[in-house]
Structure 1
């Protein structure tokens, strides 16, 4: 009717506004999440195109979603792929096993019996998981030269010229190609079987220091409670220091100081190395990330400390010929320094490689050993 007005109820207007709001939110989520989903999953047919059976990822996080969710240890997901395969094989195996109970059909075999290797995805990066033991032995023994670099040092290879990590250039863990072969030869010579036999006496010396430390702390007028983790770290630092540098770090003998500088710097270095995990995850999602944000493996303070520590240990070697009286790693490197013109940075890099590679492993093994000994005793 001409001249009439239309009135909208407030409840109707509110419902319409709420509908528009939710519609906008859903649209924005599609605009944001859809490109992200496509970016993370577009490469999931990589192994299928190349004729290799792939352990299909169930989520956009690749074959190992716990890398980001941290719901469980990564080794459990690797074990699932190795023992059971992907979801399709698990379902097929369940059906075949059920039929096998009635004598109708033999059970299906799993990945480790069906394939020598399978394709997996570290987030969006395609990788190969070897599930056949003979193939793994063949790769490690005879065909190792066919592989140029490891996944850990692949991003270091692109950094030119590694200005932030001079010590990493002397480490077999982070170098590639001919430099890696040279570094590996030096480290292998320091860990030869004949030298490892002599290192037993070095470990015995650390064990005696540990015994004296426990007697001092636990037996006396005022017995003290010794924290297990701290005790294990002190022993690991002392054993590695005397085995590598041939000097006493003072973690078990000098108990007047609450914090030992050698142990403190070793812990800082291992923590910085563990932060590499987050960096590698971002690099796996965005390969250009390492070019935008250079990452330093070892901080400058830790770098300078161990360079000075190595120089001080060398002074002891010059004055006393061998301060520990035994065959430590630094004594071998000191001999090669004169024959092969090894630099101070290379000398420190080799020593730090062995320290960082062994510290966490020794601490973890001893901590769990003491834990299970305590559980069995109780």
Structure 2
């Protein structure tokens, strides 16, 4: 009898758990929104726990099944409903036309200043008027004129990159040079110097801890993944516990680094030395006086410059070298364009750097293959009704998570024939990138009012590095690098699975 009661209680518990995991699965059906049937625990993300493949591929499976018939479908992350955008026209509406109904990123609901001060004060997570004010404050610090001011520093760092590669060649690494680490060394040195006026010593045998902390910033632990899973299974947790994305140790490091930069600048001024460039730190210090910011607040503001410039730029550079290493003809064509525009000092003048059409096309095509974010998780902020092709119109309520899968559009045969092939000529027509973006099929840096604020600075440093490398070296892909373009299963920024191993040969 006791055994039977235990068995019945066990069945009751199982039934209650199952009911909890699935009771929300009627959310989209009640609203007459089509979509695939979700599974308990994982919803429509079968690799949610195993991380055997990037979540993008789970989204792509849904996209491929429904995009011919619908503009949007309802899916579930665990038991949390999401609206998946399937048409580029609707994607453009979300980012541009109807921006007021989708002006926040979902990540903004997961952090606050108590849980993660740095990320909560980053433009990516800030919401509403707070975001608008911060963007207004920061935008003047990233104008082309200010980027031009630090261009001499950019070329100095390119010279360090050149010497570092030559040293690696002399050491003769049989397995090639790690392209991701090489690119991160470059962007770390670049951003630390241009933004803070400090050297990270990235190309020396004894680098400062900056690079190590950058890696810790973007390489999230399994604990973070577990927290995300708990958020999807128990949304009520968000009401009393928010996420910490940036580890506390990393936050403390960058606050200390910021203070060092401020102290160094003040010491120079106290000694009567005129700092030669009006750089980003100069502008940030002006903001600090204007808004009476302390060092921690100043660091949070500065991290907008740093986060956009470190990992995302390094990833773009590494993948661009990967594609050029795979295709000697495209590499030589780009080298010829660069050589025709070199000045007497061996680099391209700032004005000409952004007027090299094939260089720009190579980077845009790289972004098409590996956008920084495979998808964007937006948040509906104002009720809106949108038609849905073969289905009834959908009323999207405030608080609804809306997923825009950029990579699906950028890898769709309909918009980009032979999408897996690296073809920079797709972007050689005048304003090709803008044309694709206006159609909603290309969002390498996003679109609309929340387009990447650091885009100009990122492209300048990457183009300068490409000029330096291709002028002085032949780039080849080491055989141990994978030959496909498979996304790494986990990570905030989209990357090739495994490392990018490159071989360099000095040009005479």
Is TM more than 0.5 here? yes
**Which range moved further: 124-133 or 331-340?**
331-340
Give 1:127's aligned residue. 82
2:108–2:120 Cα contact (<8 Å) kept: no
1:206 is displaced (CA, Å) by 2.0
- The answer for the alignment partner of 2:181 in structure 1 is 230
* Cα pair 1:236 1:363 within 8 Å, conserved: yes
My pick for the range that moved more, 199-208 or 123-132, is: 199-208
> Which residue pairs with 1:96 in the alignment?
none
Equivalent of 1:353, from 295, 301, 304? 304
Deviation track 1:167-222 (CA, whole Å, cap 9, x = no partner) reads 33421123323222222323433333443455554433321111122234433xx6
Deviates more, 1:174-183 or 1:362-371: 362-371
Q: Which residue among 21, 30, 48 is the counterpart of 2:29?
A: 48
Which structure has the bigger radius of gyration? 1
1:249 aligned to 2:197?
A: no
Q: 8 Å contact 2:180–2:315 — kept in the other structure?
A: no
**Offset from partner CA, 1:295-345 (integer Å, 9 cap, x none):** 433333322221121122123333446998445322221222233333322
Alignment check: 8 A CA contact 1:198 1:326 kept = yes
**Partner Cα separation in structure 1 for residue 10 and residue 181 of structure 2:** 48
The structure-2 alpha-carbon separation of the partners of 1:349 and 1:71, relative to structure 1 and needing over 3 Å to count, comes to same
Query: Following the alignment from structure 1 to structure 2, what is the Cα–Cα distance between the partners of residues 71 and 202?
Result: 42
Q: Secondary structure at the match of 2:111?
A: helix
2:50 matches 1:62: no
**Among candidates 301, 305, 308, match of residue 249 of structure 2:** 301
Structure 2: how far apart are the matches of 1:80 and 1:312?
A: 49
- 1:1-378 → structure 2 map (5 Å cutoff): 30-57=11-38, 60-85=41-66, 111=67, 113-147=68-102, 149-156=104-111, 162-198=113-149, 200-219=151-170, 227-252=178-203, 255-257=204-206, 260-272=208-220, 276-290=224-238, 295-320=243-268, 325-376=276-327, 377=476
Q: TM-score, normalised by structure 1?
A: 0.73
Change (3 A) 1:188 1:173: same
Q: Distance in 1 between matches of 2:301 and 2:49?
A: 33
Q: Is the 8 A contact 1:170 1:350 kept in 2?
A: yes
Name whichever of 236-245 and 226-235 sits farther off: 226-235
Deviations 1:1-53 (A, max 9, x none): xxxxxxxxxxxxxxxxxxx99x9998677445433322222111112212322
Q: Does the Cα contact within 8 Å between 1:270 and 1:356 map onto a contact in 2?
A: no
CA gap of 1:276–1:323, structure 2 versus 1, over 3 A, is farther
Instruction: Say if 1:366 and 1:50 are closer, same or farther in 2 by CA, change over 3 A.
Output: same
Shift of 1:288: 3.1
CA-atom RMSD, angstroms? 3.3
Structure 1, unpaired ranges of 5+: 1-19, 86-110
Q: Distance in 1 between matches of 2:168 and 2:275?
A: 25
Secondary structure of 1:156's counterpart equals coil
Would you tell me which structure has more strand in proportion to its own residues?
Answer: 2
The answer to whether the 8 Å contact 2:44/2:77 transfers is: yes
Alpha-carbon distance in 1 for matches of 2:186, 2:315: 12
More helix by share: 1
1:348 CA displacement: 0.6
Equivalent pair of 1:64/1:123 in contact (CA under 8 Å): yes
State the SS of the aligned residue for 1:118: strand
CA contact (8 A) 1:172 1:180 kept: yes
Q: Please tell me whether the aligned partners of residues 47 and 53 of structure 1 are also in contact (alpha carbons under 8 angstroms).
A: yes
Structure 1 residue 292, shift from structure 2 partner: 6.2
Assess, with a 3 A threshold, how the Cα gap between structure 1 residues 60 and 277 changes in structure 2: closer, same or farther.
closer
Structure 2, unmatched stretches of 5+, are: 328-475, 478-508
The CA distance in 2 between the partners of 1:343 and 1:142, in whole Å, is 38
Q: Relative to 1, partners in 2 of residues 1:327 and 1:54: Cα closer, same or farther, differing over 3 Å?
A: farther
| 1:49-104: CA deviation from partner (whole Å, max 9, x where unpaired) | 1232233325551122212232322111222222222xxxxxxxxxxxxxxxxxxx
The count of corresponding residues between Structure 1 and Structure 2 is 323
TM-score by length of 2: 0.56
* Offset at residue 370 of structure 1 (A): 4.2
* Cα separation, 1, equivalents of 2:152 and 2:60: 39
Is the contact between residue 111 and residue 120 of structure 2 (CA under 8 Å) also seen in structure 1?
Answer: no
